[in-house]
Amino acid sequence: MKRLLLLSLFVLALNSAFADKVKVRLFSNNRIEALYVSFDLGIYDLYADDATLLEPGLGEGLSVELKPAANGVSVAVNGYNYGTFSRVMLRATDTACILCLNPRNVKQRTYEGDLVVSTFDKSSLKIINEVEFETYLAGVVQSEIYGDRSDIFRIQAVISRTWALRNINKHRSDGYNFCDYVHCQAYQNRCVRPDIMLGTMQSSGETIVDANGKLIETPFHSNSGGQTANSEDVWRSALPYLRSVQDTFSFRMRQSNWTKVIPRNQWLNYFAKTHKLNIQNDSVKRILLSFSQPQRKAKILGVPLTRVRTDFKLKSTFFSVTTDPNSGDVILNGHGYGHGVGLSQEGTIRMVSLGISYDSIIRHYYTGAHIHRDENVSERYVANFVTEITKIIEEDKANPGKKKSKKDDWLGKLFRVRDRQDREEEFDPTKQELEGDISVEW
């Protein structure tokens, strides 16, 4: 089902300090041996090797097939083979264009912006989405957190924007800024939900800084289990704004508690063989079989709990150990999901539901930090967008399943106004539009 509620944040981005495009490697956790591209909205031009125009005006009803070859990327449009090139680009001709990507053996995704495809070797493709920074952020927020209130998405947008700006050159040597996997931030699709877009828009120009005004690291996790962790308990550096805090808001949520059963011998032999502990010593054995964490700890008998979590594939390091009196199996009773440092997403969801302000939530999880608002972001633009998106959400709720044409989409109209202003033309709302009147479900 196509949803054309919100196509992009392009208009706002032009009036923001974060207007530049970013390059994001897509399907970074997959080996892509073939990519089929179709067009959900707008017109694209197909280029090869940066400057050679292979095919202009690609749109609905056409399909591009890209495959790795000995000397680059093999290109075909609706079955017609254009040859092999070192790089292939699909460039959007306006600000409201959407690509549908269908890699072989991988779930379909849709993205806005441009696409640049090259190869890693003779059998796999390197796929880069060149997209407006704020549009990318909206897709990240949609991929990273669940919920139904705009402040949830506003908070995620602030911490995701802060992380992205601090790590803008993370993959510079690879030829792009970020990947789409959790190694950076998840970016599994374009943003299609107006409530997520609303929260992202409300956060425009906002980042999190320390007492010196510098961007902080903004790690987050699913659920703290009731207490967050110090940064040095998980990573090397002790950062003043990543301190352990009590977090009762994470109780009674989806990922609050977990249990894992491990055979007694497997548990004890792991510490003996991997970490050279003397499990024949009664006191060592007793601690390993009755370990308790009323408060978060970093180690068990000198062994980092992060290592234990990785080796046993545990949801968190926040667990206690008991034994089954009948089988003798070791039972891990755990709390939370994730590394535990920084913001708890489910704690955030709970705090928002209780009416706690978004900036208070951020201060709760990032000790001593505060929100910085970029003065270059136009408050008028933000206010206008927030107002219009709110109207869309209210209309959606009042008229579920209502169909509208692309011409009725308010953001599409704003695109056309901006384009004419850029060309110093006067906008005539009665002027016949050239684009097709495509009916879709909202």
- pLDDT tens by residue, the chain, 442 residues: 333 333 333 333 333 434 489 999 999 999 999 999 999 888 999 999 978 999 999 998 999 999 999 899 999 999 999 999 999 999 999 877 889 999 998 999 999 999 999 998 888 999 999 999 988 999 999 999 998 888 999 999 999 999 999 999 999 999 999 999 988 999 999 988 888 888 998 999 999 999 999 999 999 999 999 999 999 999 989 999 999 999 999 999 999 999 999 999 999 999 999 999 999 999 999 999 999 999 999 999 999 999 999 999 999 999 999 999 999 999 999 999 999 999 999 999 999 999 999 999 999 999 999 999 998 887 777 787 788 778 877 877 887 776 655 444 444 444 444 444 444 444 344 443 333 332 323 2
Among 51, 21, 38, 26, smallest CA distance to 125 is for 26
Alpha carbon distance 56, 388 (integer Å): 34
Strand partners, 333: 259, 320
pLDDT of 434 reads 35
Q: Kindly give, in sequence order, each residue whose CB lies less than 8 Å from that of residue 83, ignoring residues fewer than 6 positions away.
A: 74, 75
pLDDT of 331 reads 98
Q: In the chain, what are the domain boundaries?
A: 10-197, 206-250+340-373, 257-335
pLDDT of 253 reads 95
Alpha-carbon separation of residue 350 from 128, 199, 248, 354, 369 (angstroms): 36, 16, 10, 6, 21
Structure tokens at 19: 């207007």
DSSP, collapsed to helix, strand or coil, labels residue 152 as helix
Could you count the other beta carbons within 10 Å of the beta carbon of residue 194?
24
Strand partners, 117: 88, 127
Question: Element (H or E) spanning 40, and its range?
Answer: strand 35-41
Q: Kindly give, in sequence order, each residue whose CB lies less than 8 Å from that of residue 306, ignoring residues fewer than 6 positions away.
A: 233, 234, 317, 339
pTM summary value: 0.83
CB 319 within 8 A of CB 309: no
Alpha carbon distance 62, 64 (integer Å): 7
Calculate Rg over the CA atoms of the chain: 25
DSSP, collapsed to helix, strand or coil, labels residue 287 as helix
